[in-house]
Every structure is written in C-alpha cells, then in structure tokens.
C-alpha cells in the first residue's frame, strides 16, 4: 500500500528517499536530497550516514506514515524546520513554528560580535525564537540578556526555548519594542528588513510571519523607527549590531550614525556582502 505522497508503507529507506527526492525535484524544491534526508533522519532517529550504510533497512509502518505526511507538507512548500518543529542554531536546538522566523546562519554573525565584545549585559531587539539571545547566553558565561519582540506569540516560543535550554535564569523575554530603560554593553537586532513587494521564496512568503520579515515600503522603516526610539529613550549602550539585507549597508550605516553612534561599519559575510552594521557610542573625553 502506498500513500498519496508515493511512499509505500514499510518501504526500504532507500526507496522512501528516492520517492521523496523525485517528488521534491518535480516541485522545484531547491535542495531535494538534503530535505528528504533531514526529514527521514528526524523521523527514524537515525543519522543521515545510515542511509548509505544500510539503504535497505525497512521503515516501520508508523515511520512510513510520518514520512509521507512530512513529504506532503514539504510539497506545499512548508519549511523543513516547521515540519520537524525544531532548528539548530550554533550550539543549541530551538523550538520553531510559524509564530517565529526560522533562524538563519547569517544571524550567527551577531553572536560572533557579542563574543568579540564579551558583554556583561545585552539587549536583543526582535528576538523571535530567542535564537540570538539564547546563543549569547549559552556561549558567554555570566552574560545577562534582555530580549524583546512585539509579537506575544514569538515571546511565548522564545520563553519555551529558554526553559528547555535551562537559560531562563539569564535571559528575560519582554513583549514590546524596547524596555523602558536600562544600561547595556551591547544591543543586537535582526529587525525586519525586506521591502513590501520584494520577491521571496514560497517557503518565506507563504509560511514565515510577515511581522518578522517585512520592514515597510522600502525595508528600512522598522530599523529607522527602532533607532529613533533608542536615540530618544532612556537606554544606554556601548555598541550596537544590526543584521541587514543585501545592498542595505550604506543606508543602514547612515541611519545608525544619525542615531548617535560612531565608527559605524558594515561587517561582510563569507560572500563579502555587508551583513551586520556595527556602531559604538561616543564616550566623552575625561575632564582634566
């Protein structure tokens, strides 16, 4: 018997993978083999290397049904992370679902900035799943983090992740844009920066939350609003790091400078694309 996704019940894992890869390729999914292997590995509890070592191992009926369901969901272009309910980010695994943006490798640069700065207290704006805040707390001993998001649903996911990872004693999650006041060594943010109308993959356009993706008509509106709020509010920080999109470095550097930060630069990613804008607070010269 086979499912309408073409995966026979009790099929060898080789056959199940081949059927999934064929279906994904026909649907135009970009990495069909990787997606199929990751999903089957999660469902069977096996390492992906086992598919090479023992390709004829039969799936149990339950595994076959679960994999068929996962394949059907992926064919609707639902992201793999939502199908599996989790996503790895640096050294931690996070609960993710359509309430939150799926953490991307690019955001690891914000954690790397924190490690370079070794702050004692960090504010993260727009935390989503809590990936950046929790990774910072996980990798910097004793660092305390305050993380905000305007989405109460996102904060619920982030808090659950904090509890699961045992980091809820050092990461405070707050619904809203910014805390009312506070002193921080570093502010981090992966704010929405995609312009409305910009072409996006079906996995993003159809599944990830608009509030976490779109930054306004030009893509800069949310970043500008947050920087304006920071400049006029009662929050002090030594440095700031903001993730940006392709081609946005010049404009965002200008916005960060206008908010009162100095020595503003764009850090490039491995492809040489400006990916994180970093700025520092101006420290007054000591009085003689």
**256 lies in a domain?**
yes
In this structure, are 60 and 153 located in the same domain?
no
- The residues, any chain, with a CB within 8 Å of residue 112's CB and separated by 6 or more, are none
In angstroms, the Cα distances linking 143 to 64, 170, 176 are 44, 7, 22
In this structure, are 71 and 197 located in the same domain?
no
- The residues, any chain, with a CB within 8 Å of residue 126's CB and separated by 6 or more, are 148, 149, 150, 189, 190, 191, 192, 212
In this structure, are 28 and 105 located in the same domain?
no
In this structure, are 276 and 205 located in the same domain?
yes
The pLDDT score that the predictor gives to residue 130 is: 98
In this structure, are 65 and 140 located in the same domain?
no
In this structure, are 236 and 196 located in the same domain?
yes
Counting the structural domains of the chain, the total is: 2
Look up the domain containing 40 and give its range: 13-76
In this structure, are 196 and 270 located in the same domain?
yes
**86 lies in a domain?**
no
In this structure, are 137 and 261 located in the same domain?
yes
Which of these three, 27, 48, 76, is where a domain ends? Answer: 76
Q: Domain of 238: which CATH number?
A: 3.40.50.150
**233 lies in a domain?**
yes
In this structure, are 238 and 153 located in the same domain?
yes
Which of these three, 30, 49, 76, is where a domain ends? Answer: 76
In this structure, are 70 and 109 located in the same domain?
no
Give the whole-angstrom CA distance, residue 190 versus residue 241: 9
**1 lies in a domain?**
no
In this structure, are 100 and 215 located in the same domain?
yes
The pLDDT score that the predictor gives to residue 282 is: 67
Give residue for tokens 């199908």: 83
Per-residue pLDDT of the chain (288 residues; tens, 9 = 90+): 344 456 777 789 999 999 999 999 999 999 999 999 999 999 999 887 877 778 788 999 999 999 999 999 999 999 999 999 999 999 999 999 999 999 999 999 999 999 999 999 999 999 999 999 999 999 999 999 999 999 999 999 999 999 999 999 999 999 999 999 999 999 999 999 999 988 899 999 999 999 999 999 999 999 999 999 999 989 999 999 999 999 999 999 999 999 999 999 999 999 999 999 999 996 544 444
The pLDDT score that the predictor gives to residue 283 is: 53
**29 lies in a domain?**
yes
Which of these three, 27, 49, 76, is where a domain ends? Answer: 76
In this structure, are 36 and 102 located in the same domain?
no
């Amino acid at each position: 018997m086979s499912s309408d996704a073409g995966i026979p019940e009790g099929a060898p894992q080789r056959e199940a993978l081949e059927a999934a890869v064929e279906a994904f390729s026909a649907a135009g999914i970009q990495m069909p083999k990787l997606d199929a292997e990751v999903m089957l590995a999660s469902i069977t509890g096996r390492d992906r290397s086992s598919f090479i070592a023992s390709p004829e191992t039969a799936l149990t009926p339950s595994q076959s049904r679960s994999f068929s369901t996962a394949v059907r969901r992926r064919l609707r272009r639902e992201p793999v992370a939502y199908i599996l309910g989790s996503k790895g980010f640096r050294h931690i695994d996070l609960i993710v679902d359509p309430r939150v943006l799926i953490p991307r490798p690019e955001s690891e640069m914000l954690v790397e900035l924190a490690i370079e700065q070794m702050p004692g207290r960090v504010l993260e704006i727009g935390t989503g799943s809590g990936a950046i805040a929790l990774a910072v707390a996980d990798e910097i001993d004793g660092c305390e983090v305050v993380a905000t998001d305007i989405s109460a649903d996102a904060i619920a996911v982030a808090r659950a992740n904090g509890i699961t990872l045992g980091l809820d004693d050092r990461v405070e999650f707050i619904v809203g844009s910014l805390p009312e006041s506070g002193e921080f060594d570093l502010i981090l943010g992966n704010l929405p920066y995609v312009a409305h109308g910009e072409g996006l993959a079906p996995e993003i356009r159809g599944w990830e939350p608009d509030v976490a993706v779109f930054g306004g008509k030009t893509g800069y509106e949310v970043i500008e609003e947050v920087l304006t709020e920071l400049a006029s509010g009662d929050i002090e920080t030594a440095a700031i790091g903001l993730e940006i999109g392709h081609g946005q470095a010049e404009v965002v550097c200008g916005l960060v400078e206008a908010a009162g930060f100095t020595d503003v630069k764009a850090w490039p990613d491995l492809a040489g694309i400006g990916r994180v804008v970093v700025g520092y607070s101006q420290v007054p010269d000591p009085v003689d």
